[in-house]
Amino acid sequence: MKTPRLLSITLALTLMASFAAAEAPTGSTEIFNGTDLQGWTARPHFSPVKLAEMPEDERNAQVEKWMDEANQHWTVENGELVNDGKGPYLTTAKDYGDYELVLEYKTVAKADSGIYLKATPQVQIWDSTDEGKFNLGADKGSGGLWNNSAGAPGKDPIVLADKPFGEWNKFRILQVGARTSVWLNDKMVVDHAIMENYWDRAAPLFASGPIELQTHGGEIRWRNIAIRELTPEQANEVLSSHNNSGFNSLFNGNDLSGWQGANENYEVVEGAIQCKEGKGGTLLTDGEYKDFVARVEFMLPPGGNNGLAIRAPLNGDPAYVAMCELQVLDSEHPKYAKLDARQYHGSAYGMAAAHRGFLRETGQWNFQEVTVRGSTIKVELNGNVILDTDLSKITEYMADKKHPGKDNAQGHFGFAGHGDAVRFRNVSIKPL
């Protein structure tokens, strides 16, 4: 049986090999059959939230109307998907979560277009020679996440990689959570940037959604559209392998060397630290940390409950005496339906609520990165930032119970068990 690290190396090599290939990656599915619009529906620039809120009959009627209009502007010619620059956007009938998308496009002068990911604008397609749009960024070329905030990573492409008009351009897009990488004509133009939620910038990008081919002012042709959906293991490898220099492993995969506290209540199972069923207590690192980035994979059993102790002292309840306890919780289990919002997964317990809806199914491994700088803490779950807060500004506490440890400048990192067999593996930390 492969160890978690050997498995990670194998997956990384597989992913890199797929990036180097000119054809669709192994395991991908063609989502345009080259003959008709089977598997596609239509939608203009329209909020997926508002669409979902419509009564079902009204929503179905609206989508049917959009599709009728799309059929007037979208055709198939010689295995190519052709749009005349007008009408609703062609939209996959299926939603996608973590995936690798490849496609080719060819457009005309003065046109611009794009690709909506998870129903959200967009990977930009420009006429990079159109001086009239240089003020919008056309001179920088295609492939950027154009609707990200000004100055945000990914908004502008790293290099100009567009081919001359009349030639086919090739996109490869890798998206895990909101983390988005884009290659245009085999050149990386976006490197693992967070794609913002255009529809609600205070919330993460949707966990899943359709892919939409935008129409915008001129003919555009598409072909060789294929997608490879990523398994949780593959998605976690994308996240863990990016910018991983400077991280020190905190767990050797065999025993609890380097850990202290309630060691008798934890065990090593299949290369992971597991809280013993019916046991609990806090397991802490021998070392203390000030500012740091921690990475960990965890697996929840149904109804599982644990926590990450942040800047914790050796004694006391980390929910109160540590800087915080970050909840590790099967948030959608029925028994937790009536919790305070500050008790769900990723929340700074009792102080700051995290966004919900980004956990994998119980029994699957999740990837989480925690960044602690001064009084601020950021939690990224499976590629989605679910908490980004400054604990020094918290003035209201759950049940009016204060947290005297929230101003701790340093402390131990660890796990706060609550009687459930939650597992942790690939635990590492990078001091800042």
- Which secondary-structure segment (H or E) carries 123? strand 120-125
What is the crossing angle of helices 232-241 and 4-20, to 10°? 90
Where helices occur in 146-231 by DSSP H, the ranges are none
Cα 312 versus chain centre, distance: 28
Handedness of CA 215, 220, 226, 229 (dihedral sign): negative
Residue 360 CA, chain-centre distance (Å), reads: 12
Quick: pLDDT tens for 164-215.
888 999 999 999 999 999 999 999 999 999 999 999 999 999 999 999 999 8
H or E element that contains 134:
none
Answer yes or no: pTM beyond 0.75: yes
Backbone region of residue 52 per phi and psi (left: phi > 0; alpha: psi in -120 to 50; beta: other values): alpha
pLDDT > 80? residue 10: no
Give the percent of the chain with pLDDT over 90: 88
Q: 4-238 sits in which CATH class?
A: mainly beta
Every domain of the chain with CATH number 2.60.120.560 lies at 4-238, 243-431
Segment (H or E) for 63: helix 56-70
Residue 9 makes CB contacts below 8 A (sequence gap 6+) with none
pLDDT of 17 > 90? The answer is no
How many Å apart are CA 132 and CA 273, to the nearest integer?
Answer: 58
What is the per-residue pLDDT across 104-159, written as a single tens digit (0 to 9) for each? Answer: 999 988 888 999 999 999 999 988 888 878 888 879 999 999 999 999 999 999 99
Which region, left, alpha or beta, applies to residue 110 given φ > 0 means left and ψ of -120 to 50 means alpha?
left
Phi, psi of 171, rounded to the nearest 5 degrees:
-105, 145
Q: Of the candidates 166, 168, 212, 170, which has an alpha carbon nearest to the alpha carbon of residue 188?
A: 170
pLDDT band at 390, cuts 50/70/90? very high
The CA–CA distances, whole Å, from 279 to 145, 264, 265, 306 equal: 47, 9, 6, 11
Whole-Å CA distances, 26 to 21, 31, 95, 168, 224? 10, 14, 20, 22, 14
Tell me how long the chain is: 432
Average of per-residue pLDDT values in the chain: 93
Which of 118, 97, 275 has the alpha carbon at shortest distance from 198?
A: 118
Dihedral sign computed on CA atoms, order 245, 248, 252, 253: negative
Report whether 55 contacts 96 (CB < 8 A).
no
Written as six digits, the tokens of 304 are: 């599982």
Residues 311-348: tens digit of each pLDDT: 999 999 999 999 999 999 999 999 999 999 999 999 99
Fold classification of 243-431 (topology level): Jelly Rolls (2.60.120)
Averaged over 405-425, what is the pLDDT? 98
Q: In the predicted model, is pLDDT for residue 13 greater than 60?
A: no
- In single-letter form, the type of residue at position 105 comes to Y
Q: Which neighbouring-strand residues pair with 77?
A: 80
Helix, coil or strand: residue 176: strand
Alpha-carbon separation of residue 224 from 78, 120, 126, 127, 324 (angstroms):
12, 22, 20, 21, 49
- The DSSP 8-state label assigned to residue 222 in this structure reads E
